[in-house]
Structure 1
Amino acid sequence: MPMLKSIALRLLPGAYIANSGYSKLNMPAEASAGMQQMAASGIPAVSKLPSDKFGHYVGIAELAVGGALLTPFVSDRLAGLGLTAFSAGLLTMYFGDEDNTEADGIRPSSQGTALAKDSFLLAIGLALLAPDGKKKVVKKVK
């Protein structure tokens, strides 16, 4: 992927996600439990984690994804893989609660608009995963 395109796809989402992660590291226990309850609507297994530490765990994960996006020596594909997985997890919360969507199950309701934005992160992750269109030349050794 050309460098400017890579920077454009990685810089702002990386900074946004890293900042979000940093803000969750010292989250109060009540807020952490609320976040866990919301996350469990999409990924029920998270309810088994300690609720007072859940926000801290999410913060660490967000710092890892944001850091990978901001680190130049991490390949676009690896950063895209992390962002795609992360945003897919976020979208499970969107689709896990029928109040987030209109009757068609896809378009966001007024309640779901805040979570629907995570679809943009999924699109960016997929763009980073996509091949750049250049054909690699493989030399055959005789």
Structure 2
Amino acid sequence: MNFLSSAALRVIPGAFILNAGVQKIGMPAEASEGLQEFAATGVPAVKELPKEKFGTIIGWSEAAVGGALLAPFVPNFVAGGALTAFSAGLLSLYFADEENTEDDGIRPTEKGLDLSKNAWLLAIGLGLLTSVGGKKKRK
């Protein structure tokens, strides 16, 4: 994958995710608890985290993913792995609520449309994760 195609796949989602993470850091306890309840619908294990600090924990996690995407010294497969895991978590929220999908369990309803859009992040993450860096050796 060349520099320009790699940058195109990393910069926009990286900036978006970094910004979203920074906005969650230090969020009020009530908002943090609400975010935790929502996240627990897709990943029940997050119930074990402290409610009042959940927003900050998620915020720093998102900032780390966004930062990894933006940092040019982080290899594509590392940044792609982080983005793939992050987007898989978001898609678990989508699939956890049957009201988000049509009867086929895949296509989004109007309610699920916002969460379903995270499939694009999964595709980008998988593309970065599986890209082969560098140039082929000439014989």
Q: Same fold (TM over 0.5)?
A: yes
Quickly name the TM-score band, shorter chain normalised: over 0.9
- What is the Cα deviation at residue 103 of structure 1? 1.2
CA distance in 2, matches of 1:31, 1:102: 29
Name the SS of the counterpart of 1:16 in structure 2.
Answer: helix
Q: Any gaps of 5 or more consecutive residues in structure 2?
A: none
Q: TM-score, normalised by structure 2?
A: 0.93
Question: How big is the shift at 1:134?
Answer: 7.0
How far is 1:121 from its partner? 0.4
Q: In 2, distance between residues paired with 1:59 and 1:134?
A: 33
For 1:129, the aligned partner's letter is L
Which structure: larger Rg?
1
Structure-2 residue corresponding to 1:43: 43
Instruction: Give the structure 2 partner of residue 31 of structure 1.
Output: 31
Q: Give yes or no for the alignment of 1:65 onto 2:104.
A: no
SS in 2 for 1:30: helix
Distance 1:18 1:135 in 2: 30
Matched, 1:6 2:6: yes
Matches within 5 A, 1:1-142: 1-132=1-132
Change (3 A) 1:135 1:71: closer
Please tell me whether the aligned partners of residues 76 and 131 of structure 2 are also in contact (alpha carbons under 8 angstroms): no
Identity score, percent: 59
TM-score (norm 1): 0.92
Aligned residues: 137
In the alignment, the residues of structure 2 paired with residue 62 and residue 55 of structure 1 have an alpha-carbon distance, to the nearest angstrom, of 10
Please report how far the alpha carbon of residue 133 of structure 1 lies from its aligned counterpart in structure 2 after TM superposition: 8.2
CA deviations on 1:87-125 (whole Å, 9 max, x unpaired) are 001111100111111111111111111111111000000
**3-state DSSP of counterpart to 1:107:** coil
Which consecutive unaligned segments of at least 5 residues does structure 1 have? Answer: 138-142
